[in-house]
Amino acid sequence: MISISKNRYEAAPPNNFLPVLLAVAALLFLLALELADRVTMKRDLEIAREIQRWLVPESPPEVPGVEIAFVSRPANTVGGDYYDAFLRGVPSSTSNSKRLLLVVADVAGKSVPAALLMATFQASLRTLAEANTSLLELVEGLNRYACAHSLGGRRFTTAFFGELEPETRVLSYVRAGHNAPFIRRASGSLERLETGDLPLGIDAGVRFTCGAVTMAPRDLLVIFTDGLIEAVNDADHEFGESRLLEVLKSSDAAGAQATLKNLLSAVDAFVGHTRQHDDITCLLLRTD
């Protein structure tokens, strides 16, 4: 009789515990690195947001006979919208007279890349504004700089520049591809500032056109970025210019700050809980 040991046919127990343990440990290590990177990125974005807040005015300049109100809501932690309002010297003048410069700009794109370009825009604007130049010369200088850093026109910037002479209330303006602002006259009529040219950063040789209007007492200038009128609700409908004009008409006796508050309330009510998809910036000026 042939005897065969059953031990020859017993399979050895699997010894996979150590490789599985190492794989789990490696996965946990990678997750920890990812979490650390996300924490670092979040902290960096918070710092970037604080720096971006430093680049725009916290409160408007005090100009006799003028009320200014502004707000900016980035869609992400940082954004590409920019606004400013400050006094600068009158070209070719030896007196201490000043003009009020108003700027609202929108860099193409969103988040960090747009925020970085916005920072360079602010630095260039402030530097050029210190020179004794006209509004057109200021805009043309900004355009040349933007063209040199726009990646062949892919990183262009739309902007509206207004320069108000406080004594005469004459507003000179240059619109570089930006949404046309509105003036709500004291009579209640609405006027659009349509004179305009290409955005900054597309053509270094473009010759910009300067428009001019006179602001009468109690007239209101409304400058905004496209994130305002393109705000959408849960039905994917845009807020639109028609609703903007309705708010302006219904706020005909209100000042700049009150009108801005009414406008933001209308946008919030229209959008509801829908996530904001673009930066929203508004700057309003009312003459007394």
C-alpha dist (Å) from residue 37 to 46, 188, 225: 14, 54, 33
DSSP designation for 254: -
* 0.75 exceeded by pTM: yes
Query: Band of the pLDDT at 101, cuts 50, 70, 90?
Result: very high
In whole angstroms, what separates CA 218 from the centre of its chain? 27
Amino acid found at 53 = R
Mind listing the pLDDT tens digit for each residue in 218-276?
999 999 999 999 999 999 999 999 999 999 999 988 999 999 999 999 999 999 999 99
Mind listing the pLDDT tens digit for each residue in 115-138?
888 888 999 999 999 988 899 999
In CATH terms, the fold of domain 59-287 is Phosphatase 2c; domain 1 (3.60.40)
Question: For the range 237-243, what are the long-range contacts, defined as Cβ-Cβ under 8 Å and sequence gap of 24 or more?
Answer: 239/266, 239/267, 239/270, 239/271, 243/270
Q: Where are the domains of the chain?
A: 17-54, 59-287
How far is Cα 154 from Cα 135, in angstroms, rounded to an integer? Answer: 25
Amino acid found at 66 = V
Residue pointed to by tokens 């409304």:
222
More confident residue, 103 or 147: 103
Residue pointed to by tokens 């805009």:
139
Query: Band of the pLDDT at 14, cuts 50, 70, 90?
Result: low
93 pLDDT higher than 80: no
Q: What is the pLDDT of residue 9?
A: 47
Tell me the average pLDDT of the chain: 86
More confident residue, 113 or 186: 186
Question: Which tokens sit at 256?
Answer: 């700049």
How far is Cα 104 from Cα 159, in angstroms, rounded to an integer? Answer: 6
Q: Could you give the angle at which helices 240-250 and 256-271 cross, rounded to 10 degrees?
A: 140
